[in-house]
Structure 1
Amino acid sequence: MATLVKTPSGTWKALIRKHGWPTTSKTFRTKRDALDWSRRVEDEMVRGVYIQRTASERMTLEQALKRYLSEVSPTKAPKTLLSEQGSAKNLVRRLGGYSLAALSAELISGYRDQRLSETTRRNTPVSNNSVRLELALLSHMFNVCIREWGVGLPFNPVLNVRKPSAGRGRDRRLTPDEERRLYSAVDAHSNPFLGYIVRVAIETGMRSSEVTGLRRSQVDLRRRIITLSSTKNGESRVVPLSMAATAVFRQALDHPFRPIDTDLIFFGEPGAYGRRRPYAFNKTWQQIRNRLGMRDLRFHDLRHEAISRLVEIGLSDQEVSVVSGHKSMQMVKRYTHLRAEDLVERIDLLRKQRQI
């Protein structure tokens, strides 16, 4: 039976001591509230479903996200860490003052709808994918709270919230004319690494960070392969090199001004402490792209282009996934965009072969 004690301030404290369970207590404004709570808790203890909710009632979302960003996020890729920091700011700004116990599916659904109605700094609508990432962060934080931190929560409320649709994947492809003009522009740049990086991206389908982070020990020109030990999905993979990609890497490795203080293939200028970092080309890329009238072309679109070309030359989805590093065939299809005009020629060729 619970013990009810009136405190000097006039509130009522309910104290429960039950064999096999930790001592628990809570203070209420009225005796009736204290009695109702104690009966409910004792009933849950008898049925073996009691959860200590004190921590979840005291910990706010802001506090939980702060701990998550300091303990969990650093174990992920640097790009993911930055993304989660941005998502956490949006969550804290609107829900940070709520306790974890108070965050219901209704509140989270309201947050989702509010975010989807907002615009970014560029006056464009907040994308579905941005909201999906924010909800994914919130959901994983709840899972960590329940499974690892011992925060008393009966379930993850985000699981009951409908996620925004993923939307269509980007289908930006390079036309032959755009490719010629792009190669001509990057080749004319003072730093030859820009041209090398663009060609490697189109030939291999590697991500920007994977290309710029390459070191000489990862590139085997004799076997024509690149070994990537650190990738976005956390798994290593081996990327085959076409003859064109192999030629580009030979030029990069034979660069006459290659310093001896770095193992990076595409190196930048020494930093404040004399340490060289990967070549930062993003600003130059955007300037060239805009000058060519291709403002809608992102560097990541070159990865789409590369994967689509692998499908066009006849590689199966499984073979493409080995090169691209995608875990599911669905993601391979999302990145693959075939040109209808190319399929016309292929259909004619296959029909002629069958007639022969």
Structure 2
Amino acid sequence: MPVFQLPSGSWRVQIRRKGLPHFDKVFETENEARMVEAEQLSLPAQGFQPAEITLRDLWEKYAASSDFRTKALTTQTTESGRIKPVLRHLGDYALKHLENAPGLIYEFIDLRERAVSHRTGKPLSSTSRRLEIAALSSVVIWAKKRRYVKENFVRTISRPGQAKRTRRVPPIEIAKIQAGMHHEDPVVRQASRFMYLMRWVGCRAGELSRLMWSNVNWPSGDAMFTNTKYKAENRRVHLTPSVLEVLRTQQDYSLEFFPGSPYVFTSLARALDAPEPFRPFNYSGAVKTLLAFDIVAAGFHTHAMRREFISRAIEEGMTYARIGKQTGQRSIASVQIYDQGDVLAKTQRAAIDEHTTSVITSDVFLGFAQILGMTPSQLRAAQSGQPVSKEPAMFTTNADIMASRRSVQIAPTTGTQAKRPLVRPPRARRKAE
């Protein structure tokens, strides 16, 4: 018994539990000892809380934590929005129930697959559903860090696959975007300049939308993207003369319409009394603008310009290392995700033609030389244009050997050709028993 009375009349509470310090105290009354006993027994064993907390309560703790508030503003916004349908369907479940019954999470995924977006009126995309599960995983990861649960059980949940995008930007759209930089509407001009820079810089849309004037180095012709996707590193990229010219035009536009803004491309905060009136550029709105003015076709998205940069660079023979330095893709596999290069591009055709003349022709030459029974020394002499010994060869030059193709006859495999009798090897005799 953890509570017992001493000969002096006092009451002693003595509790030993694995993972917790030994508790041993004396109290004057039994009621006081019983209350302390109940309090000590309610403490979690081995430092873990019993996971009775619901997902909704856990989200509130996570959203108020320093771990959440130190994340990027876009990450906070995304997680806050994506967790709402998760809490609506799973918020009242305790963590231990979700951990022991993963079918509840799969049922939620199936339910969201049939859901229709209130904003677009279309079925939810796989990306939206995947981000909802990612938001749930972020909460459970934090719970593991705070020792509410032992493991991130969402990690084993199969998430909806990401739809692969292969759209490229045809020359007519690039020409319309370039013409849009001279449109009479200043909003169209800025949207066109943003897409133009995406095409010729090859950066991510978020990187360009957050680019500040202080990170543009005019004399050396480069720019610094800060806090990038890869390990939050900074990346310096090259700016071509045409890109610098577009940036100077954008600088004049920014000084006229957004004086004091630190961003190269600026959007205004929705609230008029917002402490920070200038925000990073809303490039999704720029796409809608270009669609409304028939500058780009349906299905266009900002990331297609980055894919066009990488695909065209591959078509023109640029190495993966140079592409990765400019675009921030740190591995060959990550560059290949964007590779939609046309095998019929001019440089690709030329490379295949060169392969045909240099490799395939030499293989054919070697094959005919072997048919004629040339020795290795004769073959080397013929390849170098030197006289070839006539023993046993009949030809003296490379041209003679290649001309022999007309005289070499290969026996047909069909028709009236006499067939050789099939000779079977004799069977091995069995050993005498």
TM-score, normalization by structure 2: 0.64
In structure 2, the residue matched to 1:244 is 242
- Write out aligned runs for 1:155-170 (5 A): 155-167=151-163, 169-170=164-165
Higher relative contact order (CA 8 A, sep 6+): 1
1:188 is displaced (CA, Å) by 0.6
Q: 1:313 to 1:250 in 2, by over 3 A?
A: farther
2:199 is equivalent to residue 202 of structure 1: yes
Choose from 95, 117, 130 the match for 1:120.
Answer: 117
In structure 2, the residue matched to 1:79 is 74
SS in 2 for 1:56: coil
- For structure 1, the residue ranges without an aligned partner over 5 or more in a row are 4-14, 25-41, 43-48
Contact 2:254 2:261 in 1 (8 A): no
Choose from 259, 278, 298 the match for 2:301.
Answer: 298
2:93 is equivalent to residue 92 of structure 1: no
SS in 2 for 1:335: coil
Contact 2:213 2:262 in 1 (8 A): yes
SS in 2 for 1:314: coil
2:347 is equivalent to residue 346 of structure 1: yes
In structure 1, the residue matched to 2:147 is 150
1:203 is displaced (CA, Å) by 0.6
- For structure 2, the residue ranges without an aligned partner over 5 or more in a row are 4-12, 23-40, 359-433
- Write out aligned runs for 1:4-43 (5 A): 17-18=15-16, 21-22=19-20
1:175 is displaced (CA, Å) by 0.9
Q: Deviations over 1:271-320 (max 9, x none)?
A: 64695445556435413323316121112322222222232232233332
- Which one-letter code corresponds to 2:218 in the other structure? L
Contact 2:20 2:45 in 1 (8 A): no
SS in 1 for 2:263: coil
- Write out aligned runs for 1:185-334 (5 A): 185-191=180-186, 192-233=189-230, 234-253=232-251, 257=255, 261-267=260-266, 272=273, 275-278=277-280, 280=282, 282-292=284-294, 294-334=297-337
**Counterparts of 1:256 and 1:232 in 2: how far apart (Å)?**
26
**Counterparts of 1:164 and 1:227 in 2: how far apart (Å)?**
35
Contact 1:77 1:232 in 2 (8 A): no
1:179 is displaced (CA, Å) by 1.6
> Which has the higher mean CA deviation after the structures are superposed, 99-108 or 71-80?
71-80
TM-score, normalization by structure 1: 0.76
Q: Deviations over 1:122-148 (max 9, x none)?
A: 34332222222222222232222122x
**Counterparts of 2:147 and 2:281 in 1: how far apart (Å)?**
44
Q: Deviations over 1:221-268 (max 9, x none)?
A: 332211111223422111112232223223334669557634433346
**Counterparts of 2:156 and 2:50 in 1: how far apart (Å)?**
22
**Counterparts of 1:210 and 1:132 in 2: how far apart (Å)?**
23
**Counterparts of 2:245 and 2:304 in 1: how far apart (Å)?**
22
- Write out aligned runs for 1:47-66 (5 A): 51=46, 54-57=49-52, 59-66=53-60
**Counterparts of 1:225 and 1:183 in 2: how far apart (Å)?**
21
Contact 1:51 1:154 in 2 (8 A): no
SS in 2 for 1:239: strand
- Which one-letter code corresponds to 1:155 in the other structure? E
- Which one-letter code corresponds to 2:315 in the other structure? E
2:61 is equivalent to residue 67 of structure 1: yes
1:178 is displaced (CA, Å) by 1.9
Pick the structure with greater CA Rg: 2
SS in 2 for 1:308: helix
- Which one-letter code corresponds to 1:226 in the other structure? A
